[in-house]
């Protein structure tokens, strides 16, 4: 147990944050309240939360201390330059593929922009507009492990986020993620009404196995482990599945399966 966990006052701050977000019946209000509560607990000059639809597309975003024009520039241009690392809509970032399927789907990360090489338009131009020094980000995922909320807390001055502040995030986010899942109505998945889809029945037996595991929220890596095949083989099967199901990516596939 960390020293932070031994201090009852720290747990009280975490529970106060979670309590402030409970009992809310609107997903967008929940996102706004959570953003303000995190910003109160972890002081920062700027903060953002992006809301995504079940198919992985951007729904809306809410900003604190950030020019809306800069965020618009990000989605229209800067998220597409350089590598996919800076694209919040990339498959790598939208889908928490490396998680243990038996644990809650949460992820957080911290970036020190002061030591980041300025080797592309994103790091040279976009970061300069925002004036970022440090960022702490974390995501909320639905039962299909698709990111539905992406929070970014940004500092333009002072010091990096402390271990204690990171501890707050690690403890609060799993509890809030469970509340949010209930709020958006994505409880435990059903038995798979998609079994009657003609496209599903056109798949091979192995491809159907992979689709069933995907729908259960199992990551690509863990599918390869369960089926005892290489991860590259799973990806080849996925390419065939996408083609036969008439979808472009994992999020579109999961959305189609959910509709049945």
Whether the per-residue pLDDT at 95 is higher than 90: the answer is: no
Confidence of residue 93 (pLDDT cuts 50, 70, 90): low
Q: What is the pLDDT of residue 84?
A: 58
Neighbours of 254 (CB within 10 A): 26
Residue that wins the pLDDT comparison between 254 and 71: 71
pLDDT in tens, 117-165: 877 777 778 888 889 999 999 988 877 677 889 999 999 999 999 999 9
Pick one of 2.40.50.140, 3.40.640.10, 3.40.50.720, 1.10.10.10 as the CATH number of 193-259: 1.10.10.10
CA distance 146 to 143: 7
Confidence of residue 243 (pLDDT cuts 50, 70, 90): very high
Neighbours of 193 (CB within 10 A): 11
Mutual angle of helices 250-259 and 205-215, in 10-degree steps? 90
pLDDT in tens, 161-202: 999 999 999 899 988 988 888 777 643 333 346 777 889 889
Q: What is the pLDDT of residue 151?
A: 95
Q: DSSP secondary structure string, 151-169?
A: EEEEESSS-PPPHHHHHHH
Whether the per-residue pLDDT at 230 is higher than 60: the answer is: yes
Question: What letter does residue 100 receive in the DSSP assignment?
Answer: -
Q: What is the pLDDT of residue 98?
A: 35
Q: What is the dihedral of CA 166, 148, 249, 87, to 10 degrees?
A: -50
Q: What is the pLDDT of residue 128?
A: 82
CA distance 17 to 172: 8
Q: What is the pLDDT of residue 54?
A: 73
Confidence of residue 233 (pLDDT cuts 50, 70, 90): very high
Q: Give CATH for domain 3-183.
A: 3.30.450.40
130 touches 156 (CB < 8 A): yes
Q: What is the pLDDT of residue 192?
A: 46
Neighbours of 15 (CB within 10 A): 13
Confidence of residue 215 (pLDDT cuts 50, 70, 90): confident
Domain segments of the chain: what residues?
3-183, 193-259
The strands making up 134-141's β-sheet, listed across from edge to edge, are 58-64, 46-52, 147-155, 134-141, 106-112
Whether the per-residue pLDDT at 102 is higher than 60: the answer is: no
Whether the per-residue pLDDT at 239 is higher than 50: the answer is: yes
């Amino acid at each position: 147990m960390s020293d932070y966990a031994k201090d009852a006052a720290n747990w009280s701050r975490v529970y106060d944050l979670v309590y402030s977000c409970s009992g809310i019946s609107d997903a967008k209000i929940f996102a706004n309240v959570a953003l303000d509560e995190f910003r109160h607990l972890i002081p920062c000059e700027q903060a953002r939360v992006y809301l995504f639809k079940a198919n992985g597309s951007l729904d809306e975003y809410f900003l604190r201390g950030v020019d809306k024009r800069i965020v618009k520039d990000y989605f229209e241009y800067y998220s597409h330059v350089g590598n996919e690392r800076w694209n919040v809509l990339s498959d790598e970032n939208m889908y928490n593929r490396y998680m243990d399927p038996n644990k809650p789907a949460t992820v957080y990360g911290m970036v020190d922009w002061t030591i980041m090489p300025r080797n592309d338009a994103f790091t040279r131009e976009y970061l300069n507009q925002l004036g970022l020094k440090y960022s702490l980000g974390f995501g909320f995922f639905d039962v299909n492990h698709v990111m539905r909320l992406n929070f970014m807390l940004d500092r333009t001055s002072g010091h990096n986020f402390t271990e204690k502040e990171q501890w707050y995030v690690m403890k609060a986010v799993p509890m809030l993620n469970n509340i949010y899942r209930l709020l958006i109505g994505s409880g435990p998945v059903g038995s798979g009404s998609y079994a009657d889809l003609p496209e599903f029945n056109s798949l091979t037996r192995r491809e159907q196995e992979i689709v069933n595991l995907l729908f259960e929220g199992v990551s690509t890596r863990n599918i390869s482990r369960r089926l005892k095949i290489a991860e590259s083989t799973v990806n080849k099967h996925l390419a065939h599945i996408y083609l036969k199901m008439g979808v472009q990516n994992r999020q579109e596939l999961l959305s189609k399966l959910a509709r049945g």
